[in-house]
Amino acid sequence: MTDRPALRSQRLNQITHAPHAELDALVKAHAPFDSRESFARFVVAQYLFQAELQALYNAPQLIAIVPDLAQRCRAEQARQDLADLDTEVPPAVPGALRNPSLGEAMGWIFVSEGSKLGAAFLIKRAVALELSDSFGARHLGEPAGGRAEGWKQFTRILDGLALSAEEEAAAERGAVAAFERFTALLKYAYATDTALV
């Protein structure tokens, strides 16, 4: 058995390795950067995921832990990207997260915040489609204060949080569930019968 890393953020990285790799492979398979049409479907998945997490980003008990949490949400940027790409805002997909515990919520936010690091590579590819952080790919833009700094601040708070063994397990379940949910939303967005435009 491998040693469990001391830091919670590292443990969450470790246990989400498999679903993360699966999601990366699925994104590549759908080739979002081959055309604006394909990219628009990718943004649909991003919007659905961020919209589902909006309640967490605005939850007072979570803002008490992560003071700039509300500003970190990208649902609005993704919605504007859909408008830029002449794509309708999709209706919510059944199965969204409901009333998570503290640990579970932090696991989901961990995945959402971590995706901003990967977005640094994605936005470079979006440029080839003549998209940018001010048109069509806003949700991939660099957060205020920088990606690395924002991530360090978040993981510092996450790693310093006192959680019970039960909440610790909930955080791990939440992080894995977040990857699984985004994977499901991506499949939905690229389903051929999903009329988006």
Query: pLDDT 10s per residue in the chain (197 long)?
Result: 456 778 999 999 999 999 999 999 999 999 999 999 999 999 999 999 999 999 999 999 999 999 999 999 999 999 999 999 999 999 999 999 999 999 999 999 999 999 999 999 999 999 999 999 999 999 999 998 899 999 999 999 999 999 999 999 999 999 999 999 999 999 999 996 555 44
> Between the CA of residue 110 and those of 5, 66, 125, 130, 151, what are the distances in Å?
16, 12, 24, 30, 9
Indicate the pTM of the whole model.
0.94
Name the strand (E) or helix (H) holding 171: helix 165-190
**What distance in Å separates the CA atoms of residue 171 and residue 106, rounded to the nearest whole number?**
6
Crossing angle (nearest 10°) for helices 36-57 and 75-84: 160
CA angle 65, 181, 166 (to 5 degrees): 45
pLDDT recorded at residue 167: 97
Domains of the chain, first to last: 8-189 (1.20.910.10)
SS3 42: helix
Query: If you search the block for the tokens 């499949």, which residue do you land on?
Result: 187
pLDDT recorded at residue 1: 45
Dig out the tokens for 150 from the structure: 């924002």
**What distance in Å separates the CA atoms of residue 60 and residue 70, rounded to the nearest whole number?**
9
Q: DSSP class of residue 85?
A: T
**What distance in Å separates the CA atoms of residue 130 and residue 93, rounded to the nearest whole number?**
29
Dig out the tokens for 194 from the structure: 């999903």
